[in-house]
């Protein structure tokens, strides 16, 4: 089994370097499984992009950390979809460069990955810990999005669709990226809606989470308007998410994904 960890980066090159070298790589090494880390730029400035590329050229990271060339600046969802199409692994996970969600639960999850098609961290699940809360405006917007996602999309068993820490079977990640039409912040909802419509299992686990004061999420109201607009696009696209019998049989024919 191999786990690929996708990390989208937007203007956080220095933070990515320190988090990976000081916390991330020692932790991933401790899991005792084959893994690699895929860094993909998420609309960084030219200066930050150059700094990111320089880190890899100078050998700042070990060989299991790769920079995936990507120049489009369409949003985090686009960067993750690009990685999902390129990566070959049994399971693919994405997490944020700011380490807002503590990856510690992975120590237990890796022993049970085959019990669900998708694992998602939740800041609202029982046992979750919010070490540093979001600003009030973002908490209000988060509550509104939770209500809509749970009731408009039938995701009533999920308490948090937007936490930036999710793990997918590798074959599912590939087809998710092909079905994806949302490149902005609602792409998480699109992924989970697709899985729900096709009967794939999603398991939540409580997150240990802290808000990053240097977050690149700087325009909450503008982002929320785009989010709600994109929810409408997802709903209208419902028929295109439903897999054919042949597609679903191919995905369900093995407990682990086939090679790409």
Q: How far is CA 154 from CA 148, 150, 194, 239, in A?
A: 9, 6, 11, 15
pTM for the predicted model, two decimal places: 0.90
pLDDT of 256 above 50: no
The pLDDT tens digits of the residues spanning 148-191 come to 888 899 999 999 999 999 999 999 999 999 999 999 889 999 99
Average pLDDT value for residue range 134-148: 81
Tokens of 87: 């990566």
Over its C-alpha atoms, the chain yields an Rg (Å, rounded) of 17
Structural domain boundaries in the chain: 2-252
CB atoms within 10 A of CB 189: 24
Give the model confidence (pLDDT) of 182-239 as tens digits. Answer: 998 899 999 999 999 999 999 999 999 998 776 655 577 788 888 999 999 999 999 9
Superfamily of domain 2-252: Spore Coat Polysaccharide Biosynthesis Protein SpsA; Chain A (3.90.550.10)
The CA distance from 214 to 188, in Å, is 22
Q: Which of 146-152's residues contact partners 24+ apart within 8 Å by CB, and which partners?
A: 148/228, 148/231, 149/189, 149/192, 149/231, 152/231, 152/235
Angle, helix 187-197 to helix 170-179, in steps of 10 degrees = 110
């Amino acid at each position: 089994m191999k786990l690929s960890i996708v990390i989208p980066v937007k203007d956080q090159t220095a933070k990515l370097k320190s988090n990976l070298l000081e916390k991330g790589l020692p932790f991933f090494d401790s899991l005792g499984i084959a893994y690699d880390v895929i860094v993909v730029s998420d609309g960084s400035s030219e200066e930050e992009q150059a700094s990111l590329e320089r880190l890899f050229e100078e050998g700042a990271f070990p060989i299991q950390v790769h920079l995936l060339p990507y120049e489009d600046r369409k949003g985090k969802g686009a960067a993750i979809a690009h990685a999902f199409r390129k990566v070959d692994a049994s399971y693919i996970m994405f997490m944020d460069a700011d380490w807002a969600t503590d990856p510690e639960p992975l120590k237990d999850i890796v022993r049970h990955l085959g019990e669900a098609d998708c694992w998602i961290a939740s800041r609202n699940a029982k046992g979750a810990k919010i070490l540093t809360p979001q600003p009030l405006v973002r908490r209000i917007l988060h509550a509104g999005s939770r209500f809509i996602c749970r009731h408009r999309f039938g995701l009533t068993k999920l308490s948090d669709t937007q936490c930036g820490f999710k793990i997918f079977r590798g074959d599912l990640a590939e087809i998710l990226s092909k079905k994806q039409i949302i490149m902005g912040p609602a792409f998480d909802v699109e992924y989970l809606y697709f899985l729900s419509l096709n009967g794939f299992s999603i398991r939540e686990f409580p997150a240990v989470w802290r808000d990053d004061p240097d977050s690149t999420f700087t325009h909450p109201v503008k982002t929320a308007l785009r989010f709600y607009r994109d929810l409408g696009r997802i709903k209208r696209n419902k028929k295109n998410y439903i897999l054919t019998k042949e597609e679903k049989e191919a995905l369900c024919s093995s407990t682990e994904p086939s090679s790409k």
